[in-house]
């Protein structure tokens, strides 16, 4: 099986520096003239392979997501993220949307913003003009932007994504004025990508129930809060369960899609990661996380029906 290709971004390719986020990034043009964002990984992390794997897992679920390639620029590792905003359209982030409706919303605070609650996000996504992503095929259980967003929360719980802050979700406003939920994007804070191999080995083998894998995945927190007075963000699984209580039919369909994904399909994704980017233990640890989180999600099946 062929490894995922690594795109070499020309050294002089940068057109515009991106201000959002915490790591170096810039926009450039691909060979066919389309726009892409190079995002450099932080030292000592596997943000590049985690981002690529997360996108491939989303693809298995039929979940709308940004497209990523592994990439290098000036001998630095990263990913190329391809623009999903059509010409003439605009991406409006969650903080911009919530700030319109909520007085004194902390628009510029990316983390620890307790005003960023799941109910407030869904209250906006429930508005009748918010459609699913443009190329998403509606089903009986997945008809609205809010229904699709339930799947984003399930993906977060599956991969342990802790970075769904209010600049990491949003809507697309088309040139005609239509509003669509944006594809899911920015999933690099997942799959244990910043753990050392020593820690991974310890977590996988320890008999200490407070340090074992189930405890490790159970600590993953979303960037959503249950209410504005909360001191800690919700755990990723709790965020999905709360969404499932609000939209049981949508949650049921997303869980059915997760149930249909086979171990072979997942393993084939990891087999294609270039060996120089992720150790065998990093892959084994991420696979173990996915198995554990899948079981945790599917065990919620009867809790919301």
Domain positions in the chain are 6-82, 90-304
6-82 is a CATH 3.30.43.10 domain: no
- CB-CB contact of 62 with 133 (8 Å): no
Q: How far is CA 278 from CA 61, 281, 298, in A?
A: 24, 8, 28
Q: pLDDT tens-digit profile of 5-23? A: 999 999 988 876 665 555 6
φ and ψ at 17, to 5 degrees?
A: -75, 135
- Two tokens, residue 14: 């940068």
pLDDT of 305 reads 43
pLDDT of 201 reads 98
Encode the chain (305 residues) as per-residue pLDDT tens digits: 799 999 999 998 887 666 555 568 899 999 888 899 999 999 889 999 999 999 999 999 999 999 999 999 999 999 999 999 999 999 999 999 999 999 999 998 878 899 999 999 999 999 999 999 999 999 999 999 999 999 999 999 999 999 999 999 999 999 999 999 999 999 999 999 999 999 999 999 999 999 999 999 999 999 999 999 899 999 999 999 999 999 999 999 999 999 999 999 999 999 999 999 999 999 999 999 999 999 999 998 655 44
pLDDT of 300 reads 84
Instruction: For the sheet with 35-40, list strands across it.
Output: 6-9, 67-73, 76-82, 35-40, 25-29, 16-17
Q: Which CATH number fits domain 90-304: 1.10.150.120, 3.30.530.20, 1.10.1070.20, 2.40.50.140?
A: 1.10.1070.20
């Amino acid at each position: 099986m062929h490894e995922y290709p690594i795109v070499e971004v020309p050294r002089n390719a940068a057109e515009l520096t991106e201000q959002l986020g915490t790591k170096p990034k810039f926009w450039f043009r691909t060979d066919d003239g389309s726009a892409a964002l190079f995002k450099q990984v932080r030292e000592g992390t596997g943000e590049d392979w985690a981002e690529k794997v997360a996108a491939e897992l989303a693809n298995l679920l039929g979940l709308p997501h940004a497209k990523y390639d592994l990439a290098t620029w000036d001998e630095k590792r990263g990913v190329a993220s391809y623009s999903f905003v059509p010409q003439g359209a605009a991406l409006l982030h969650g903080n911009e949307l919530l700030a319109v409706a909520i007085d004194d919303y902390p628009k510029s605070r990316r983390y620890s913003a307790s005003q960023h609650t799941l109910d407030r996000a869904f209250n906006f996504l429930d508005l009748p003009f918010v459609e699913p992503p443009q190329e998403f095929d509606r089903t009986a259980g997945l008809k609205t932007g809010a229904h699709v967003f339930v799947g984003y929360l399930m993906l977060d719980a599956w991969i342990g994504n802790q970075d769904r802050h209010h600049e990491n979700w949003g809507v697309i406003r088309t040139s005609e004025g239509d509003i669509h939920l944006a594809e899911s994007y920015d999933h690099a804070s997942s799959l244990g990508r910043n753990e050392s191999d020593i820690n991974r080995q310890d977590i996988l083998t320890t008999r200490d129930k407070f340090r074992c894998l189930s405890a490790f995945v159970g600590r993953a927190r979303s960037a959503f809060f249950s209410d504005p007075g909360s001191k800690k963000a919700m755990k990723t699984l709790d965020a999905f369960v709360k969404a499932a209580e609000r939209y049981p039919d949508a949650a049921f369909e997303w869980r059915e899609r997760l149930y249909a994904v086979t171990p072979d399909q997942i393993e084939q994704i990891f087999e294609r990661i270039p060996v120089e980017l992720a150790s065998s233990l990093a892959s084994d640890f991420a696979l173990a996380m996915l198995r554990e989180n899948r079981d945790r999600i599917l065990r919620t099946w009867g809790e919301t029906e």
